[in-house]
Amino acid sequence: MKEEEKKTHFGYRVIPEEEKKGRVKDLFTSVSDKYDLMNDLMSLGTHRLWKRYVSSSTGLKEGERSIDVAGGTADIAILMAEKVGEKGKVVVYDINREMLNIGRGKCIDRGFVKNIQFIQGDAENIPFSDNTFHCATIGFGIRNVTHLEAAFREMARVTKPGGKVICLEFSHVQNPLLKKLYDIYSFSFIPFVGEAVTGNREAYLYLPESIRKFPGQEELKSIMERAGLYGVKYHNIFNGIAAVHTGVKI
C-alpha cells in the first residue's frame, strides 16, 4: 500500500511537505532586494526595536558565539556582533542565498567582516556540533519552517547548556477589536504595498495567511518545551501582534 503523502500549510494552501522548502526559497528570492524596505514600511520601523529587544535578551558577552537561524539580511546578527566583539562570532544561517548576499553586503558596509559568518542551509539540519553556541535566535523565520519542533530541537542541540534559544515571530492578537483592525490592515494594506514595492502581491498575501495559520503563544511555548527547552516564557509585543519566546537549554 502506498504511503500517504504528508501535507503542510503554505499560507492557507495545503501542499505536500516536500514542496514547502522550495516554495519558501523561491518566495524570498523574489523579494530579497526589497525585504528590508518592506519590513520598515509594514511596521513603521518598529521591527528594529523588536530585534533590539531580542539582542538585549540574549545575555551575550564579549568573545562568545551565537547563531541567528533564518537570519537572512543580518539585522539581529549585527546587533549580536556588537555584543560579542571581534573576539566573538555570530553565524547568519539561512536557506536563501539571495537573502544571505543582502546581509553580507550590509555587514561589509557597516564594518562587520571579522566576526560574522554566513552559511546557507536548512533550519531543520544545522551543520554544527552539539553545544557550539552560547545563544541561538530566529526572527520572523520559524513560520516558514516545515517542522517547527525539529528546528527548535536543532537550535537547542547546538546551544551550550545554560544558553538561550530566542524566537521573535508574529503571533496572535489578544484584543478582539484590535484583531479586526489588524486583519483589515494585514489583508488589504500589506498586499497592496507589497505589490507596489516588490511587484509580488502573492508574497505579501502569504505573509498574513502564514501568520494566521501559525500556532498561538501558548502552543508555541509547548512546542519549544517538547524540543527540550526549559523555563520557556514569552513576551507579547503590541498586544500579541508579535511575541518573543525564550527558552533555556539545561
Tens of pLDDT, residue by residue, the chain (250 residues): 345 689 999 999 999 999 999 999 999 999 999 999 999 999 999 999 999 999 999 999 999 999 999 999 999 999 999 999 999 999 999 999 999 999 999 999 988 888 999 999 999 999 999 999 999 999 999 999 999 999 999 999 999 999 999 999 999 999 999 999 999 999 999 999 999 999 999 999 999 999 999 999 999 999 999 999 999 999 999 999 999 999 999 9
Helix segments in the chain, DSSP class H: 17-31, 35-43, 47-57, 75-84, 97-109, 148-158, 176-184, 190-198, 201-213, 217-226
- Residue range 7-173+207-248 forms a domain whose CATH class is alpha beta
pLDDT the model gives residue 63:
98
pLDDT the model gives residue 2:
46
pLDDT the model gives residue 113:
82
- Which cell numbers hold the place of 114? 571579522
- Which cell numbers hold the place of 188? 488589504
pTM of the model: 0.95
pLDDT the model gives residue 1:
38
**Which residue has cell 514547502?**
20
CB atoms within 10 A of CB 2: 4
Instruction: Give the rounded distance of the alpha carbon of 211 from its chain centre.
Output: 12
**Which residue has cell 525564550?**
246
pLDDT the model gives residue 3:
52
Amino acid at 86: E
DSSP state at residue 125: S
Our separate counts of H helices and E strands in the chain read 10, 9
User: From its phi and psi, is residue 206 left (phi > 0), alpha (psi between -120 and 50) or beta?
Assistant: alpha
Name the residue among 80, 91, 86 with its Cα closest to residue 52.
Answer: 80
Helix, strand and coil content of the chain, in percent to the nearest 5, comes to 50, 25, 25
Bridge partner residues of 91 (DSSP): 67, 117
